[in-house]
Amino acid sequence: MILIIILIIYIIFYPLQFEFYEDLKAKRIAEFIVIPIFSLSILYDLFRNLKKGEKNWRKYSINLVKGLGVFAVIYFLILRSFFSGGILFINTVFGVKEIVKVSGIITEKTNVKGGGRFIGKYELIVDQNGNEFVFDSNRKSIENYEVNGHFEMEMKKGILNLIYK
């Protein structure tokens, strides 16, 4: 059990080792996988209760709403980071890494310092000829860049087409 907890913590914090990485894209991939599976499980539960002949629909609907609320809280606090970290892990470990040169103008910079339990949010949005890249980063890597400044870096593209360095 302790090994599983250590693995989960490792995968959640795995992206922090990179200077720049596409976390937003990884979260979208995770949502593309998790939300349909969750929706199908809700539909299965509804179908099962219809087939079973559920008599107390009011109580069932209240329990369903409670379950959705608990899942939403757990998903957005823990599971979303876990799944996006897992996707970044798969992206970087498996497959052939392609070298990509990202060169563009920084259109937005988010630099929110962390404190307490919040580790901060550091993000650069780079526009490369109409293609927009959203790179999550760390405080040290982002401090040398300014909005409307030039961004140029050789980065790697993994098996899931996520760019990182």
Q: What integer pLDDT is reported at residue 66 of this predicted model?
A: 93
Residue 19 has pLDDT above 90, yes or no: no
pLDDT tens per residue, range 101-143: 999 999 988 877 766 666 678 888 999 988 899 999 888 888 8
Q: What integer pLDDT is reported at residue 160 of this predicted model?
A: 92
Q: What integer pLDDT is reported at residue 155 of this predicted model?
A: 92
pLDDT tens per residue, range 61-112: 898 899 899 999 999 888 888 899 999 999 998 888 899 999 999 998 887 7
Structural domains of the chain ordered from first start: 2-93 (no CATH), 98-164 (2.40.50)
Q: Kindly report the pTM of this predicted structure.
A: 0.81
Q: What integer pLDDT is reported at residue 82 of this predicted model?
A: 87
3 state SS for the chain: CHHHHHHHHHHHHHHHHCCEECHHHHHHHHHHHHHHHHHHHHHHHHHHHHHHCCCCHHHHHHHHHHHHHHHHHHHHHHHHHHHHHHHHHHHHHCCCCEEEEEEEEEEEEEEECCECCECCEEEEEEEECCEEEEEEECHHHHCCCCCCCEEEEEEEECCCCCEEC
